[in-house]
Amino acid sequence: MFYPQLNSHVAGTLRFPLDDVVHALRLFRIWMALGWNDILARYRRSVLGPLWLTISMAVTIAAMGPLYGSIFNIDLESFLPHLSLGLIAWGFISAQLIEFGEIFQHSAHYLRNMKLPLSLFILRVQYRQLIILAHNLAIIPVLFLILGRPVNMTLLLVIPGLILITINFFFIGLIVSFFCTRFRDMQPVLTSLMNLFFFVTPIVWHPDQLSGQRRLIAELNPLAVYVDLIRAPVIGQAPPVNEWCFALGSAVVLMVMSVYLLKRSGHRLVYWL
């Protein structure tokens, strides 16, 4: 099928797919403004504004913590940090994946009328979710203070962990957004899969509660690795070397896949909107 050339920017993107990413990074003021405006629009005319993000997560943790702690017969001093950081990390990861599937459709008016790199809209989602993550992480110092839990230097490992997760999900975002734009029925499938993965990812429960082959549910779950890269450093544990290796390796593989997809189908995207 013949697809006419849209403009010089798209043609450049086809020849050099990584130029799309570089161009998007240079336009950081645009995707940062769009991401922040998304937060403001969501809470426009609200008295507390984005603080509702923190309050909502705090209420969820306060409700689930004592309940599941008693069900699993686990001391709240160790269970609450595990649960709270798991929920916060999962919210950061799952919200990105779900929003990636709709981002090009929601940005159709920009894509049809403006010369903007496709990667810009992925960065828009990521910036918005990083803001939400920062609001939710504000709960952790208060929780640790109430529990009297100390913090050690492994906390600094959360920085490279977040960088690796952001890089991985940037490339995942390109793949998922193209796929869901081309096949519209995949968006509800993606949402259902994320609901399923919530229960098979060690967020509420701990991998040590499983034994034998059942433990493979956690060990072979890639989303569990991303959750642990955020959670483990904060609770004072260094993530295992295999998790760092997995995150680095997956970033390379995902980059190759997304570059190929951008080169092959970048010029067709506007016809799918």
DSSP string, the chain: -------HHHHHHHH-HHHHHHHHHHTHHHHHHHHHHHHHHHTTT-SSTTHHHHHHHHHHHHHHHHHHHHHHT--HHHHHHHHHHHHHHHHHHHHHHHHHTTHHHHTHHHHHHS---THHHHHHHHHHHHHHHHHHHTHHHHHHHHHT----GGGGGHHHHHHHHHHHHHHHHHHHHHHHHHSTTHHHHHHHHHHHHHHHSTTSS-GGG--GGGGHHHHT-HHHHHHHHHHHHHTT-PPPHHHHHHHHHHHHHHHHHHHHHHHHHGGGHHHH-
Residue 9, in any domain of the structure: no
| pLDDT of 100 | 93
The total number of structural domains in the chain stands at 1
Contact 38, 123 (CB under 8 A): no
- pLDDT per residue as tens digits for the range 75-110: 888 889 999 999 999 999 999 999 999 999 888 888
Would you say residue 5 lies in a domain?
no
Residue ranges making up the domain that contains 40: 23-272
Residue 134 lies in a domain: yes
Residue-by-residue pLDDT tens, the chain, 273 positions? 333 444 444 444 445 567 888 888 999 999 999 999 988 887 777 767 777 788 888 898 888 888 888 888 888 888 899 999 999 999 999 999 999 999 998 888 888 888 888 899 999 999 999 999 998 999 999 989 988 888 888 889 999 999 999 999 999 999 999 989 988 888 889 999 999 999 888 998 888 787 777 777 777 888 999 999 999 999 988 999 999 999 999 999 999 999 888 888 877 888 787
Q: Is residue 123 part of a domain?
A: yes
Is 13 inside a domain boundary? no
120 within some domain: yes
Per-residue confidence (pLDDT) for residue 242, from 0 to 100: 92
Q: Is residue 65 part of a domain?
A: yes
**What's the predicted TM-score (pTM) here?**
0.87
In a domain, 17, yes or no: no
